[in-house]
Amino acid sequence: MSKLKIAIQKSGRLSENSLRLIQECGIKIPNGGGKLITESTNFPVEILFLRDDDIPQYVEQKVADIGIIGENVLIETRKNLVVIQKLGFSACRLSLAVAKEVDYKDLSYFNGKKVATSYPSILEDYFQENNIKATIEFISGSVEIATGIGLADGICDIVSSGSTLFSNGLKEVEKVLSSQAVLVAAEKLDSEKQQILDKLLFRIRSVQKAKESKYILLNAPNQNLERIIKILPGMNSPTILPLAQEGWSSLHSVISEDKFWDIIEELKGAGAEGILVVPIEKMIL
């Protein structure tokens, strides 16, 4: 039986989250001990550990069937790949930055300037769309030091908190692109591999769904139940169980993480007591 080959970053900002996702899907990966390829012991997949920049090419050439990379790398490498799932981790942005002292007003600052970046294709498109004529200086790493050493007037690099920029005397002036980790594949997989991928995607979506939701249990006097049920936008109608104490019930439901605190306030206001909120490990829809 064939195995689905998944390429992930060997070591870097995507590695830990990529491995965690695979493990949360119940896929066991033996400790590779620095190996390039390792096989799962309980699911038909092989994991290839690569540099993130090489993953698009490997997937396009079908050395790997699918891969996990940042959207920034996907767009920069311009390979013919499809995003099959956004993964929500390693969120960052690609931004233009200049020295703190620069009196920056707008993008026209970059006309006639030199900008250092590891993302020349994305930056070229961005400047073209915005009618800016600048020189792009490609460097493969440590872009943040380019202005300090006099190589460029500005840089275009990955930013998350901005602390790296700050400690190099730079300030962020324009966001070029937002990025997160995505699962990519080449156009067509054979049917056996597609079946494995479908199973994997089902698991990934269950894990993601569970992260967005919480299981909630509460006690309430029976006369308030109707009001409380209206507050809870659960997947289904909530479960209601009688308590030993006369006239009281226990109510169970699922709520979404983003509305969490608002809902809790409302529930308290409606007479709910003993509210328990527990994480959900998997959610099968």
Report the distance separating Cα 216 and Cα 34, nearest Å.
42
Question: In terms of CB distance, is 35 or 188 closer to ligand ATP?
Answer: 35
Indicate which single residue of 158, 165, 184, 232 sits in contact with ligand ATP (rule: CB under 6 A).
158
Q: Which stretch binds Zn ion (CB under 5 A): 49-57, 77-85, 244-252, 270-278?
A: 49-57
Q: Which residue has the tokens 């899907």?
A: 25
Q: Which of residues 89-108 bind ligand ATP (CB under 6 A)?
A: 90, 92
- 47 touches ligand ATP by CB under 6 A: no
Element at 37 (helix H, strand E): strand 37-39
Indicate which single residue of 8, 18, 60, 72 sits in contact with ligand ATP (rule: CB under 6 A).
72
Residue 214 one-letter amino acid: K
In Å, how far are 17, 65, 248 from 245, measured between CA atoms? Answer: 46, 58, 6
- 15 touches Zn ion by CB under 5 A: no
Q: Which residue has the tokens 């498109």?
A: 125
- 27 touches ligand ATP by CB under 6 A: no
Indicate which single residue of 18, 22, 27, 52 sits in contact with Zn ion (rule: CB under 5 A).
52
- 177 touches ligand ATP by CB under 6 A: no
Question: In terms of CB distance, is 162 or 271 closer to ligand ATP?
Answer: 162
Indicate which single residue of 24, 46, 53, 266 sits in contact with Zn ion (rule: CB under 5 A).
53
Torsion, Cα 159 160 166 168, to 10 degrees, reads -50
Residue 178 one-letter amino acid: S
**Binds 179, which of Zn ion, ligand ATP, none (CB < 5 to 8 A, cut-off by type)?**
ligand ATP
Dihedral sign for Cα 33, 38, 39, 40, please. Answer: positive
Neighbours of 168 (CB within 10 A): 19
- 160 touches ligand ATP by CB under 6 A: yes
Shortest Å, Cβ 140 to ligand ATP: 9
Shortest Å, Cβ 23 to ligand ATP: 19
Question: In terms of CB distance, is 158 or 200 closer to ligand ATP?
Answer: 158
- 54 touches Zn ion by CB under 5 A: no
Question: In terms of CB distance, is 166 or 202 closer to ligand ATP?
Answer: 166
Q: Which stretch binds Zn ion (CB under 5 A): 52-60, 83-91, 214-222, 256-264?
A: 52-60
**Residue in 18, 15, 21, 42 with CA at minimum distance from that of residue 30:** 42
Report the distance separating Cα 240 and Cα 228, nearest Å.
11
Report the distance separating Cα 55 and Cα 66, nearest Å.
9
In Å, how far are 36, 54, 159 from 46, measured between CA atoms? Answer: 10, 17, 32
Report the distance separating Cα 68 and Cα 85, nearest Å.
10
> For binding to Zn ion (CB under 5 A), which residues are involved?
52-53
> For binding to ligand ATP (CB under 6 A), which residues are involved?
9, 12-14, 51-53, 70, 72-73, 90, 92, 158, 160, 179
